[in-house]
Amino acid sequence: MVLMNPVISKLTGKLVVLASASPRRLEILTNVGLRFEVVPSWFKETLDKRLFKTPHEYAVETAKQKALEVAKRMPFKHLKTPDIVIGADTVVTVDGLILEKPVDKQDAYRMLSRLSGKEHSVFTGVAIILCHEKEDTFQLNAFIIDFYEETKVKFADLSDDLLWEYINSGEPMDKAGGYGIQALGGMLVEYVHGDFLNVVGFPLNQFCKKLGLIFSPPGSLTHNSTQNSPQGSPVDTVPPAEPAASSPPGSPTHNGPPDSQGQNIPSASTAHNVSTHVNNVREHETEDGKEKLSKMIELMDGFKASKVLFTASKLRVFDVLRSSKTGELQAEDVAQEIKASIMGTERLLEACVSLGLLQRTGKEYTNTAMSRHFLLSDGPLSLQGYIQHCNELVWPLFTHLETAVREGTNQHEKAFGKTSNLFQDAYYSRHEVKLRFMKAMHSIAKVSGRDVATAFDLSKYKTACDLGGCTGAMAYEFAKAHPGLSVTMFDLPEVIEMRGHFRPHDADDRVSFVAGDFFKDELPKADVYILARILHDWSDEKVHILLSKIAKACNPGCCVLVSEIFLDEDRKGPSRGLLQALSMTEGRQRSASEYSLLLKSHGFTAAQVKHTHNLLDAILCVTE
């Protein structure tokens, strides 16, 4: 007699994973109090049945491959190594055939009419994998315990009408042999010999017995380094896991007495074969390992991809292609247009194709939809301004990253010379630098503006002030999104004087411009203060100065809308925000709750946070 709870309780505290999408298996295991995660296996059930001497070997091998696939995937995809992975596979055998799940109604009919009036066997193969990842290696050690259970089922004689009625119920489609004994399919059955749950998809009784053997005290599998199988048979050590289809036909996957084709198939109540293997899986040879390697390569090459984008943008490749009569050009023509070498241009264009920035048919290059969307310099959502800023300003800063990390300082001076005030001395001192910086801010505001402006219901407010709003692009988006709102754009005089460059052709006269320094000058009165991409540039100390000025200017009921990249609360992402922080000066990237706390200390509460899935998120806080 197996005592269920003591066996199940042996698994307490272990990460147990059911590598199955079957709702029945989930239910059977949940019902006995097992705590586990479900990670359905991606292993395709396509093993060549002819390679197996017996149906149960096929079911066991499939179960094993299902479980192994999950055991290997989890450390990479789920970033955790399970302790135990359970896989199962149920098949029906009749007339020497193995029946799995029907592919369509006709298939279900073929299966069920074959079963009608006869006894058949249901085999469920089970694999229990005990996993252990060797530290700092790409090896997963896996002890595999596998077994199977057979149950005999006899169907009554079934008329075609009954069969079709049953098939049309939809029940057969996800069930081995085309029936569900636990539901309507139970009506087709005359008798069952053996474990009923085995037919439903999981031989619970044997599973618990095996667990009892695995987790029994000294001399058991996990405690004894000789690793005898629960039945005392020796452990096989097998080389790196091979795709099962390539294992030699009928290769012994079980230790213990061989069951032979039909003569010696154990009865439902006998204890069945158990085998235990140690698998050393070289992870980089698996699908998941390959995925990890390609992620690594992507990271190593990331800077090259960025520079290709920057260079193609700077050389106006996307504009040149768009301006051609047919929208397509050969490399020689592009080279002529951008005044570059043919060979260099060809390499650049080919690299652009590989990155999805261009497409090529024969010798002709054209823009992709993504490039047309974001890379044409006059497109409404053009990111060209920001791309040029990354190329001219961020790239040089990143070339000094190592020193920046060592010294804990910004490398602006090393890259561009001495500055005392970043904005006034660096960004706004020379006309072309100022214009480039403003174009960068403009493109971010254009791309994210609508999502930020519509993040919250602002219909009860009449006036807004966009502090440090640069070109006014965000202010125009707010005016567009809120017909009752007038927006004042407040920024340094040297910024305001450039506003003509960025004035939209359909400029709304509800947007006005006021020059001033938000740290020094009086702020315009408004119901809503917008701080889009401002606070991350400043230390907490400076943020407090600014927020206290806003708080003083506010009447009760006014609000502050902060729009930034919000870090995850555990500061593990998004990488866009964390990467940007590496080249920042005195500011810092913050999470939504950090912004909320800063605002709260100035009387702005009741935060609503909006993750826009665009370049900037938003938080709205109201004065009490």
For the annotated catalytic residues, the residue numbers are 89
In the bound state, the residue with its beta carbon closest to ligand LJZPGDOY is 201
The answer for residues whose C-beta is within 8 angstroms of residue 94's C-beta and 6 or more apart is 114, 115, 118, 120, 121, 177
Q: Is residue 230 part of the contact set for ligand LJZPGDOY (CB under 6 A)?
A: no
Bridge partners, 223 (sequence order): none
Q: What is the spatial distance between Cα 514 and Cα 490, in angstroms, rounded to a whole number?
A: 5
Q: What is the spatial distance between Cα 281 and Cα 435, in angstroms, rounded to a whole number?
A: 56
Q: What angle do CA 182, 272, 189 make, to 5 degrees?
A: 25
Task: Give the E-state strand segments of 435-532 in sequence order.
Answer: 463-467, 486-491, 511-515, 528-532
Least CB distance to ligand LJZPGDOY at residue 25 (A): 6
Least CB distance to ligand LJZPGDOY at residue 10 (A): 23
Token pair belonging to 462: 């009449």
SS3 track for 245-268: HHCCCCCCCCCCCCCCCCCCCCCC
Q: Decide whether 176 or 404 has the Cβ nearer to ligand LJZPGDOY.
A: 176
Give yes or no for a contact between 412 and 422, defined as CB atoms under 8 angstroms apart.
Answer: yes
Per-residue DSSP letter, 186? G
Give yes or no for a contact between 156 and 234, defined as CB atoms under 8 angstroms apart.
Answer: no
Task: Work out which of 11, 17, 20, 352 binds ligand LJZPGDOY, going by CB under 6 A.
Answer: 20
Task: Work out which of 3, 21, 405, 606 binds ligand LJZPGDOY, going by CB under 6 A.
Answer: 21
The answer for residues whose C-beta is within 8 angstroms of residue 424's C-beta and 6 or more apart is 492, 494
Token pair belonging to 445: 């505001």
Q: Decide whether 20 or 54 has the Cβ nearer to ligand LJZPGDOY.
A: 20
Place of tokens 């009919």: 109
* 211 alpha-carbon distance from chain centroid: 34
Contacts with ligand LJZPGDOY by CB under 6 A: the residue count is: 24
Q: What is the largest CA-CA distance in the chain?
A: 96
Least CB distance to ligand LJZPGDOY at residue 585 (A): 53
Per CB under 6 A, contacts with ligand LJZPGDOY among 151-190 are 174-176, 179-182, 185
Least CB distance to ligand LJZPGDOY at residue 100 (A): 6
Q: Is residue 93 part of the contact set for ligand LJZPGDOY (CB under 6 A)?
A: no
Least CB distance to ligand LJZPGDOY at residue 258 (A): 24
Least CB distance to ligand LJZPGDOY at residue 245 (A): 17
Least CB distance to ligand LJZPGDOY at residue 152 (A): 13
User: What spatial distance separates the first Cα and last Cα of the chain, rounded to whole Å?
Assistant: 68
Best CA proximity match to 29, nearest among 39, 15, 16, 42: 16
Q: Decide whether 63 or 349 has the Cβ nearer to ligand LJZPGDOY.
A: 63
**Collapsed DSSP state (helix, strand, coil) of residue 546:** helix
Q: What is the spatial distance between Cα 278 and Cα 235, in angstroms, rounded to a whole number?
A: 8
Q: Decide whether 29 or 88 has the Cβ nearer to ligand LJZPGDOY.
A: 88
Q: Decide whether 48 or 298 has the Cβ nearer to ligand LJZPGDOY.
A: 48
Strands 37-38 and 511-515, sheet pairing: unpaired
Give yes or no for a contact between 322 and 337, defined as CB atoms under 8 angstroms apart.
Answer: no
| Interface region with ligand LJZPGDOY, contact rule CB under 6 A, candidates 86-94, 103-111, 126-134, 459-467 | 86-94
Q: What is the spatial distance between Cα 437 and Cα 474, in angstroms, rounded to a whole number?
A: 15
Q: Is residue 197 part of the contact set for ligand LJZPGDOY (CB under 6 A)?
A: no
Q: Decide whether 174 or 364 has the Cβ nearer to ligand LJZPGDOY.
A: 174
Per CB under 6 A, contacts with ligand LJZPGDOY among 23-42 are 24-25, 40-41
Q: Decide whether 101 or 442 has the Cβ nearer to ligand LJZPGDOY.
A: 101
Q: Write the burial class of residue 470 (CB in 10 Å: 0-12 exposed, 13-18 middle, 19+ buried).
A: buried
Task: Work out which of 75, 102, 172, 201 binds ligand LJZPGDOY, going by CB under 6 A.
Answer: 201
The answer for residues whose C-beta is within 8 angstroms of residue 400's C-beta and 6 or more apart is 411, 414, 415
Q: Is residue 192 part of the contact set for ligand LJZPGDOY (CB under 6 A)?
A: no
The alpha helices in 242-329, defined as continuous H runs, are: 287-314, 317-323
Interaction mask 99-118, ligand LJZPGDOY, x per CB under 6 A: --x-----------------
Per CB under 6 A, contacts with ligand LJZPGDOY among 37-66 are 40-41, 45, 66
Least CB distance to ligand LJZPGDOY at residue 65 (A): 10
Q: Decide whether 196 or 423 has the Cβ nearer to ligand LJZPGDOY.
A: 196
Least CB distance to ligand LJZPGDOY at residue 189 (A): 9
Strands 275-282 and 139-155, sheet pairing: antiparallel
Q: What is the spatial distance between Cα 492 and Cα 501, in angstroms, rounded to a whole number?
A: 16
| Interface region with ligand LJZPGDOY, contact rule CB under 6 A, candidates 19-27, 76-84, 214-222, 563-571 | 19-27
Q: Decide whether 101 or 389 has the Cβ nearer to ligand LJZPGDOY.
A: 101
Best CA proximity match to 605, nearest among 622, 582, 588: 622
Q: What is the spatial distance between Cα 392 and Cα 437, in angstroms, rounded to a whole number?
A: 10
Q: What is the spatial distance between Cα 169 and Cα 166, in angstroms, rounded to a whole number?
A: 5
Q: Decide whether 22 or 275 has the Cβ nearer to ligand LJZPGDOY.
A: 22
Task: Work out which of 200, 308, 315, 375 binds ligand LJZPGDOY, going by CB under 6 A.
Answer: 200
Task: Work out which of 88, 131, 357, 621 binds ligand LJZPGDOY, going by CB under 6 A.
Answer: 88
b/e per residue, 99-112, with b = 16+ CB within 10 A?
bbbbeeeebbbebb
Q: Decide whether 180 or 468 has the Cβ nearer to ligand LJZPGDOY.
A: 180
Q: Is residue 89 part of the contact set for ligand LJZPGDOY (CB under 6 A)?
A: yes
Q: What is the spatial distance between Cα 379 and Cα 175, in angstroms, rounded to a whole number?
A: 54
Q: Is residue 22 part of the contact set for ligand LJZPGDOY (CB under 6 A)?
A: yes
Report the interface residues with ligand LJZPGDOY, using CB under 6 A.
20-22, 24-25, 40-41, 45, 66, 88-90, 101, 174-176, 179-182, 185, 199-201
